[in-house]
Each structure stands twice: as structure tokens, then as C-alpha cells.
Amino acid sequence: MKIQGPGKTSGPSKTNKKDKVGSGDESFGDFVSSQAGSAAPASTTSSIAKVDSLLAAQAVEDPTAKAAKKRMRQRSMGVLDELEKVRMAMLNGSLTVGHMIDIADVVASHREKITDPALTAIMDEIDLRAQVELAKMRVAMDRQKQV
């Protein structure tokens, strides 16, 4: 097979354009052709400035909300720290009644400040488990006293 180089390219094909619109859409065609020459006046920039100022006002963070987020973060870290202490005590075999009382107290002190239903359910589960473990420990301590 022999390649002889690029072939002659033709220009873009011409299309036959009709100047008139179909008979059913004459009023629309007249409307479009009359509007093509006149452009709508440019809107003023004052409306854009108003929108920008509203967006800027919404972007400002409320100092009280920032402080509330900081307090919530500290409370959550406190709960997680107590849970970590309980976990480590369970792994070491040194879990005491004091550990369980501490976790129950932490959960009870933060429960009323929580508005999220999913988080409330998690805190309820932690509290229930702590109360169950406390009951088990008390029964075990009573058995040791009887012996």
C-alpha cells in the first residue's frame, strides 16, 4: 500500500439557511428578530453589592457559637478519656468500682447538654453499661464479704 501524503481537504460544507421561520411559529420568529437588535440594559451593581454584604454577614462566625463548640469538644474529649481509662483497666484486669463511677458521673453530667438524638442514644448505652458493670461489681463485693 502506498501513502501519498495528505489528501485535499475541503472547506466547511455550506448549509442552506432559511430566512423565514416556519408558518406555525411566525409570532415567535418576529419576537426573536425584533429582540436581537436591542439588548437589555445592564443591571446596576448595587444589587450585587447587597448580595455580597449578606454573604459576608453570614460568613462571620458568632463568638458564642465558637466558644460553645470549644466546650462541646472539651466535654467529648473528657468522655473519651474516661472511656479509654475504663478500657485500659479492663485490659489490665484492674477495673475498679471507682472507674465505673467516674464514667457514670461523666455521662450523667453531660447528658442534659446534648441535643443530638443519636449522640443521646450512645450516651444512654454507655450509662447503661456502666450501671450494669457497677451492679456486677457490687454483687461480687457482697459475695466476698459473706465469705
Percent of the chain beyond pLDDT 70?
69
121/73 Cα distance (integer angstroms) = 18
Q: Could you tell me the residue ranges of all domains in the chain? A: 63-146
> Is the Cβ–Cβ distance between 98 and 122 less than 8 Å?
no
Per-residue pLDDT, 114: 76
> Is the Cβ–Cβ distance between 98 and 58 less than 8 Å?
no
Segment 87-138, tens digit of pLDDT: 898 899 888 888 888 888 888 887 777 778 888 888 888 888 888 888 888 8
- How far is CA 38 from each of CA 3, 17, 33, 41, 51, rounded to the nearest angstrom? 55, 23, 10, 9, 28
Query: Can you give the pTM of this predicted structure?
Result: 0.48
Q: Indicate whether 50 pLDDT > 80.
A: no
Quote the Cα angle for 89-95-96, to 5°.
Answer: 140
